[in-house]
Amino acid sequence: MKKEAREYQRLLEEEAREYERMMKDVAHEYQRVMDEAGPEVVDEEPEERRRRLHDEAQERRRRLHEEAQERQRRLHEEAQERQRILHEAAENRRRMRDHYHDRPGRPGRPGRPGRGFRDAEHTRRSVLDAAIRSLITEGLGVSIQAIATAAGITKSGLMHHFNNRTELLVSVAEDAIEDFRNQVNDNIDLAENRPGKLLRAYIRTLFDNLEYQDSYDPAQLWSVLAPMPEITDLLIDDAARWRDDFIADGLNPDRVTVAMHAAKSFVHEAQLDPGISTESIARAKSVILALTNETGPLVDVSDAENSFDDVEEAEVEVEELESATDDKDSDKESGDDSKDSSV
């Protein structure tokens, strides 16, 4: 972090020097134009000439000042972007350290992993990341050799960590599921002292991934892996686990089901529609989050069933009435026919 701080400080100092240089240029230009006006002489319209030169100097000074401000703004944005990149790099290193935290280490050094363990975990992480990229770009038919090449290791080195291709792909899915669960846990608002905070964090995370996809689109990965029965079983188990957790957080099961599927369905459709507006996404997010404000069922199912029974009874009565009407019409037609025949 010290190196990154020094780099950021260097950029700020460079920005300040550049701004100071531009201000000196403004002053020099202003002085040059004013010198051109010279002392007051008996000349044709001297006051008008001096006024004109003064106005020109003011205009040049204004333009140079605007250029200096624009340059300062660009330098400041570049410094901020560089700082953001350095911050992300530091954050990634911190996550790597946290990933190895409290792992078994060498004898006599509890909680601190040995070099061999760190290297093995780093290689395994590289293989999983390479597998994700390869699956998204090449599809489910990507070979083990292609993944190993993308990870920068040999095929035998990859097989040292994963016994076969299925084990590797299942590990990719398990890692993605665990990563999403960690994101949801990070999104929980502990200040919310009411039921449903876990489901709200789940919904926020889905929409955050839709708006700020860092490295890859999770929907693409799942669409590639979905045909594998092992992956399907994983997803079914994960969905059931989420549902149980949401219900345990105090929400009605029907409300949980509707909110879960509404969030997932909207995000899936939005990923297929590149033209969808941010306003539409924000509104959908607010509407779905509002489903978690109450804890009970969305509707009174007993009333709905009674209404359905009433409709069925009404339909039966209508059918009976229509049948009776048809019988009367038939009797009337028969009577008319007998009168005609007697005549």
Buried/exposed 242-275: b ≥16 CB within 10 Å, e otherwise: bbeebbebebbeebbeebbeebbebbeebbeeee
What fold characterizes domain 170-298?
Tetracycline Repressor; domain 2 (1.10.357)
Which CATH number is associated with domain 115-162?
1.10.10.60
The pLDDT value recorded for residue 74 is 79
Residue 22 above 80 pLDDT? no
Buried/exposed 57-93: b ≥16 CB within 10 Å, e otherwise: beeebeebeeebeeebeebeeebeeebeebeeeeeee
The pLDDT value recorded for residue 343 is 43
In the block, residue with structure tokens 């097989």: 159
Q: What is the pLDDT of residues 64-86, one digit of tens each?
A: 767 777 877 777 777 777 777 77
Q: What is the pLDDT of residues 281-336, one digit of tens each?
A: 999 999 999 999 888 887 765 554 554 455 456 555 556 655 655 555 555 555 55
Domain ranges of the chain: 2-94, 115-162, 170-298, 300-343
The pLDDT value recorded for residue 169 is 93
Distance CA 279, CA 285 (A): 10
Residue 220 above 50 pLDDT? yes
Q: What is the pTM of this model?
A: 0.54
